[in-house]
Amino acid sequence: MRKLSVFNNVSLDGFFCDEHNDMRWAHDDDAEWRAFTNENASGEGELLFGRITYEMMVSFWPTEQAKQAMPIVAERMNSARKLVSSQSLGKADWQNTRLIKGDLGAEVRKLKAEPGPNMVMMGSGRVISQLAALGLIDEYQLAVHPIALGQGRTLFETLKKPIHLKLQKSRSFGNGNVVSWYAVD
């Protein structure tokens, strides 16, 4: 059975983006962090996005700017198989992308039961909330950055009941970031 994991950057006050859906605060130009990002992006897996995150990702990763700034991550993002969940998006043009328009929970259950690589979600707070409530997320990898945004969106903005997680491991970085891996308990 395939696993579904979440990777997200979050602020100290728990936001994955600010009130304008901006995530630039999470991009550090630190050598140790960049090496981790490159290594983390090199894993196999299918990417899953909601519409807002998909639109942000497709506006950057296929560009020459992305290929020059972060060539390893750009190559991985562009070549990876991608799924985008949206009721309003008409089409998904990014290389290797398939649009999911139906029942996301049913589709993810089906995908998890099929053979293939694990799946990873980034950004996509509404999608994460929806799939977390359905018990479909197996692991959370959260990178906490030493910044307080004051306002923004949380990963669990529509969650109605607690989800208990168990810390698997963590790693701190010289720039103050701390990445923690949690399994659903």
| Full-model pTM | 0.90
Domain count, the chain: 1
Query: By C-alpha distance, which of 167, 160, 121, 137 is closest to 9?
Result: 121
Give pLDDT tens digits along the chain (185 positions): 899 999 999 999 999 989 988 888 988 778 999 889 888 887 678 999 999 889 989 999 999 999 998 898 899 999 999 999 999 999 999 999 999 998 999 999 999 999 999 999 988 888 999 999 999 999 999 999 999 999 999 988 888 999 999 999 999 999 999 999 999 98
| Numbers of helices and strands, H then E, in the chain | 6, 8
What is the DSSP pairing of strand 82-85 with strand 97-100? parallel
CATH number, position 155: 3.40.430.10
Structural domain containing residue 50? 4-184
